[in-house]
Chain A
Amino acid sequence: MKIDSIKNYPAGALTKQMHGNSLERNEEKSAGAYYDKKSVNRGYYSGSFTGINGAAVNSSYKNLGNTLSDKIFRSKFFQWVDTMFEEQSVIGQALVALVVAGGLRPATNLAMAGKNDKEDSIYAASHAISSAIIGFVVSSIVMAPFGAAFRKIKENPKKYLTGLEEVLGTEIGARKLEKSKAYKKISKIAQFIPDTLVLGIPKAMLTIALIPPILKYVFGMEKGHKKEAPKAPNMAYSKPTLNVTLEKTTGGNK
């Protein structure tokens, strides 16, 4: 029935319908060209494209490849970054931290700072930048070989994972493992463990150690030059000290 409908298109109809859905267009071309040749049309041109006009038009992407986000998606750089997030997830995490905590957060902190808490904001910004830089540098250096090692497992699982069929719930093979949720889960844990359990706390210590040089060289503030906050008498906690420490502690909350 559907093939008949293709056959009934008047001559020239194909060129007139070029604005339509591409699937439909392709099918028309193919069907139109090969419909009569039974040796070519072996049945797979069932004509189904011609029966889904509305559905196909509604579900197809308009202007694919030309919008700003499409151009970003198509760029080699984005695809490289995207691959890195999968294969070097820890470095990806550090990259997010570098952008957010090393740029966005200090900028907002300083922009929102009032006259009274400018120094506190600078201190908080120093902490954020320090944390981001340490996180990114340490993670990139230490975790890069782990990422490369993980890629080896991914590309040649038979060499490393043979015998784990029962645990991973699938045969061992690159394509089979892609479908295994157990493999995906345990791989992500394995990728994060060195950073989360081993490097996490040393990185936090290094972050604190890096605050004075950042205060000095980025903001031109020497350690100890911070004004002594006036203390309110008989209070459980004086407000400026509380404020500074809060910003310090929230700064290390990752």
Chain B
Amino acid sequence: MQIAQIRAYNGSNNFKQISTPVSERTYQPQFTSVNPAKVKNTGLYDKFTDWIAKNYYEKFYRSKTAKYILEHTNGEKWNNMTTHMSALGSTLISGMYVIRTLENDKLDPEKRKTLAINDVLTWGVSTACAYFLDSKLAKWWDGVTTRFAANYLLDNKDARRTDVLGEWEAKDLKYMMENWHKHIKADSVEALDLTKLEKKAYSNIRDFNLDVLKNKKLTTLIDGMGVLKSLFVFGMVYRYLVPVLVMKPANMIGKHIHEKKAHNLEQNAQKVDDKSQKVEKKD
């Protein structure tokens, strides 16, 4: 079919335009050595970001602090650093509010204590809830991420590495994660790296992508999904679930208790007044 189309072009005027003699051709500047991206990135902003990369990131990576942190965070529980940084941020801000409350001269010392304890308890409950929810959602979110990756592969055939793995469809991603090694094209030069890999079934899409698909954009997207989940969970718990759905009823209960106390105090005060009046009358 394609050949027929080419033949048709041969007979058309369009073809003649392509074969214009060199002398009649107009000069077309060749932008082969200028990369538009590079032009865009040579500005002040680029220099500034480069300065940050060198003076902040590079220095931090090379710092003793970074080395110390890495040496002391070897366990599996430290892998999701996004959650720990969210918790650290919350701890610092809550700590600041506690200090401000304790230093507030307008409040009674007793009130300050109560409010400070309340702040600390709120922080504690929020942090515990956030970690709990984040870990509980982890497995489900892995499934969501795999489906997200399948959708990415649906739209990006190149990312499926069909040159190495043969034709397969994105909807069969989970099958491919388990059986990829059965489909390697033995005669493909690009497949050499895959043949060296351990023939294992992958349960994690990130690992499968890193080892088999090797798509850099997909790695970023998969990592982004993990960050999105953790930040959403922590944001929801810290800023919505606890302050609105927990604190509101807690405040209502607190109000009720205080009203009851105030009522009792008033009644007691009245009784004392009545007694003292009776004593005065007797005298």
The chain A residues found within 8 Å of chain B, CB to CB, are: 21-23, 26, 30, 42-46, 48-49, 52, 55-56, 59-62, 64-65, 69-70, 73-74, 79, 81-87, 89, 92-93, 96-97, 100-101, 104-105, 108-109, 112, 124, 128, 132, 145-146, 148-150, 152-153, 160-161, 163-164, 167-168, 174-175, 178-179, 181-182, 184-186, 188-190, 192-197, 200-201, 204, 232-239, 241-243, 245-247, 249-254
Whether A186 and B85, one on each chain, are in contact in the complex, defined by CB atoms closer than 8 angstroms, is no
Measured in the bound complex, the distance between the Cα atoms of B169 and A65 in whole Å is 12
B148:A73 contact, CB within 8 angstroms: yes
In the complex the two chains form, is A249's CB within 8 Å of B118's CB?
Answer: yes
Q: Which residues of B contact A86 (CB under 8 A)?
A: 220-221, 223-224, 227
User: Which residues of B from 76 to 110 have beta carbons under 8 Å from A?
Assistant: 78-79, 81-82, 85-86, 88-90, 92-94, 96-97, 101, 107-108, 110
Tell me if B225 and A82 are in contact (CB < 8 A).
Answer: yes
How far is A246 from B154 in the complex, measured between Cα atoms in Å? 50
In this assembly, does B134 line the interface, its C-beta being within 8 Å of a C-beta of chain A? Answer: no
Q: Are A164 and B61 in contact (CB under 8 A)?
A: yes
Q: Which residue of A lies closest to B250 (CB)?
A: A246
Residues of A contacting B179 with CB < 8 Å?
48, 52
Secondary structure call for the A interface: helix
Q: Pick the contact of B168 from A23, A43, A167 — CB < 8 Å?
A: A23
Question: At the interface, yes or no: B200 with Cβ under 8 Å from chain A?
Answer: no
Q: Is B89 a contact partner of A254 (Cβ separation < 8 A)?
A: yes
Complex contact B224–A242 (CB within 8 A) = no
Q: Smallest Cβ distance from A122 to chain B, in angstroms?
A: 14
Q: Which residue of B lies closest to A179 (CB)?
A: B210
User: Which residues does chain B contribute within 8 Å of A185, judged by CB atoms?
Assistant: 69-70, 73, 78-79, 81
**Across-interface contacts of A186 in B (CB, < 8 A):** 60-61, 66, 69-70
Give bound CA distance, A250 to B250, whole Å: 12
Residue of A nearest to B153 (CB): A64
- Bound together, the chains give a CA A181 to CA B80 distance in angstroms of 10
